[in-house]
A and B are shown apart, each in its own frame.
Chain A
Amino acid sequence: MNVVLAKTETGRALSDIFAIARDRLPGAGEVADLRRQAFDAYERAGLPHRRIEDWKYTDLRVLLREVLPSAAVPDAAALKRAGTALKLHAIAGVRRLVLVDGVFAPKLSEMADLEQGLSIRTLREVLDAGDAALHAELFTPENSDAMVALNSAMMTDGIVIEVADGAVLTQPLHIIHIASGAVPAAMFTRSLIRVGKTAGATLVESYIGADAAKAYQVHDSLIVSIGDGARLDHVRLIEDSREAFNISSAVITLGANAHFNTFGMNTGSLVSRYQAVIAVVGQGSRVETNGVNLLNGRQHADTTLFLDHAVPNCSSREIFRAVVDDRGHSVFQGRIIVRPNAQKTDAKMMTRALLLSDEAEADNKPELEIFADDVTCGHGATTGALDDSLLFYLRARGLSEKEAQALLIQAFVGEAIEQIANDALRELAISAAQRWLAARG
């Protein structure tokens, strides 16, 4: 096997960086061992490339080229820049949990007056404390994916949220990742949310950069467990700098009669990859996973979902829309596996791409692997341009070419955005889409 070691800008091998960083990374003993194993796994594989099927359309050896060293711990000036960026992206009525350059920022966060049944700690705290069960859960993601392994080895901080059995939170939680620095660096974060039995929560994740921050790297992961009869609503908004990289992974596990509604919108970053594994292990559960990519310039955004139906009587819906202009490239890979025992599974996936220029590209790869014989499963994928007859109708009514396109694009992405259950968050996604359309001019 042709092993390529990732070199940093200074020519040092990433292994040296890890060797230097490991003593400062949170967690000793078993955690340190797990990090070492993860790093070894990453080093053996190197950055994923196009010959690895899962990464076929997103060759990180070409697109990312190297993993940067970890960002410095933010100083007062960094926190100030982050605070300014935060003001532009603040959402009303949520509890803010802010990570600046991969480190929890208590002064920008709201940790007081937690609702009954809600516990919030930082990843650093949890890894430094001796909770073996939680440590095991934090290392759930397998090292078989190199970027997950890298994240396991290097993670510095994150938010660990626990919602007690029966606690239904009224206030959404908002994790905001902010890159503050002008020096390109990497942030390695991992967060976890555990929603107890019959509990309920809403989690928003935003990724943004301060004005100065340009070609930084976000390496994030999220571990979610949704207990029996519980519900989690989840929204991801990638509004990173247009030169940034965002490589994120998620592992979601649903118990019985649980409900997971997730929506992702990508308007930012130069290269992004979101890979989620959703395991439905309890009967009677529902998953709705939807997303929108709005890309232009040379943006590349990859959403790779793996939905694992392991038990009977569950349903899943995936609605994905991509709008690609200029030389943008949107990738959607949706794999659904229905295991032999998972009878009465109802799984549907629909992905549609709208290409606004001749050089825009969209790759859709739906994969259904069905091993049960009494199921309803289906998928569809379309790629096309805006309908000329609709454009002419709108123009004949007085809309300019851009206005007519904007109205049709909003309608196109609307079907996915409408799936967001929370009204305020749905409005947020609509306004993010409108900002993107307005920026087109």
Chain B
Amino acid sequence: MSLLEVKNLQVRVEEREILHGLSLTVNLGEVHAIMGPNGSGKSTLSHVIAGKPGYEVTGGEILFKGENLLEMAPDERAAKGVFLAFQYPVEIPGVATMTFLRTALNAQRKARGESEFSTPDFLKKVRAVAASLNIPQDMLRRGVNVGFSGGEKKRNEILQMALFEPSLCILDEMDSGLDIDALRVAADGVNALRSPDRAMVVITHYQRLLNYIVPDFVHVMSKGRVVKSGGKELALELEASGYAQFEDAA
């Protein structure tokens, strides 16, 4: 059984069809890159997998560990192991990062019927992960993402990924707004989480990110469909020739 099976997915937003029958299969241990020009539907796919409201699925299905993902609330999906690293992580003033992390982790554990973490165990775990990602302690005391730089926000997403230990990580345009040093730190964090028990879907417009997070498979999206799939060399090919050829193909 595959971890994630997207079959002939059709999605509308406000009467406009964005995805016109998209299919994608991801197995544990694999890293897939999804590339494509703006407006090809990459972010829509990530939002629909995570359960963001406002999207109407008009056809097809998504199976996660064999279960119908589309019937689950976003929090159920998170507890089952779906994690979306946001392109633009939101700022939540008044909610301390530490409080947020503990509430979220314990909510997921509770939903899975696991015991909640004790405060000392939790603190130990967060501190260890934060140190490995170069996240200073004072950042954890601040409001969630409030006053964080672009790089800090992305590192905070990776911190959560490390803490929640999801089986499917979707990284939505992780490279947007990051300079090359910040990108390297974030990519190192992601690479450390690669595991045979986990799959990743890396959504990006640019090939650059894939120099740091090297995928097993590359899919090219255009106009709401996957128009070509291949190995990591496909990304380099795109870098040389651009997306134009695929736009015609779609």
Contact = CB atoms under 8 A, between A and B. Distances in A.
Contacts of A411: 92-95, 143
Given A400-B107, A403-B107, A392 B100 contact: no
Interface string A21-49: 00000000000000000000000000000
B100 A396 contact: no
B187 interface: no
Closest 6 CB pairs of A and B: A411-B94, A398-B108, A398-B78, A395-B74, A397-B104, A398-B107
A393 B103 contact: no
A412 interface: yes
A291 B105 CA distance: 32
Interface in B169-196: none
B135 to A, nearest CB: 17
Interface stretch (B49-57, B116-124, B241-249): B49-57
A439 B92 CA distance: 24
Contact of A392 (B52, B107, B108, B164): B52
15 contacts: A389-B90, A392-B74, A395-B51, A396-B77, A396-B84, A397-B100, A397-B164, A398-B75, A398-B107, A400-B73, A400-B107, A407-B99, A411-B93, A411-B94, A415-B94
Contacts of B69: none
Interface in B89-143: 89-90, 92-95, 99-100, 103-105, 107-108, 111, 143
Contact of A393 (B89, B111, B164): B89
Given A396-B52, A403-B107, 7 more contacts: A388-B53, A393-B89, A395-B51, A396-B84, A403-B103, A411-B92, A414-B94
Nearest to A412: B94
A438 interface: no
Contact of A400 (B52, B53, B75, B99): B75
B193 to A, nearest CB: 16
Nearest to A393: B90
B79 interface: yes
B86 interface: yes
Given A403-B103, A403-B107, A396 B92 contact: no
Interface of B: 50-53, 73-75, 77-79, 83-84, 86, 89-90, 92-95, 99-100, 103-105, 107-108, 111, 143, 160, 164
A253 interface: no
Interface string A347-390: 00000000000000000000000000000000000000001111
A399 B50 CA distance: 13
A393 B92 CA distance: 10
Contacts of A387: 90
Contact of B104 (A390, A392, A399, A415): A399
A391 to B, nearest CB: 9
A408 interface: yes
B190 to A, nearest CB: 18
A426 to B, nearest CB: 14
A397 B143 CA distance: 16
A399 B103 CA distance: 8
Contacts of B86: 393, 396
Contact of A408 (B74, B89, B92): B92
Given A392-B74, A407-B100, A407-B103, A398 B164 contact: yes
B98 to A, nearest CB: 13
A373 B90 CA distance: 42
Contacts of B84: 396
A394 interface: yes
Nearest to A404: B75
Contacts of A388: 53
A333 B43 CA distance: 45
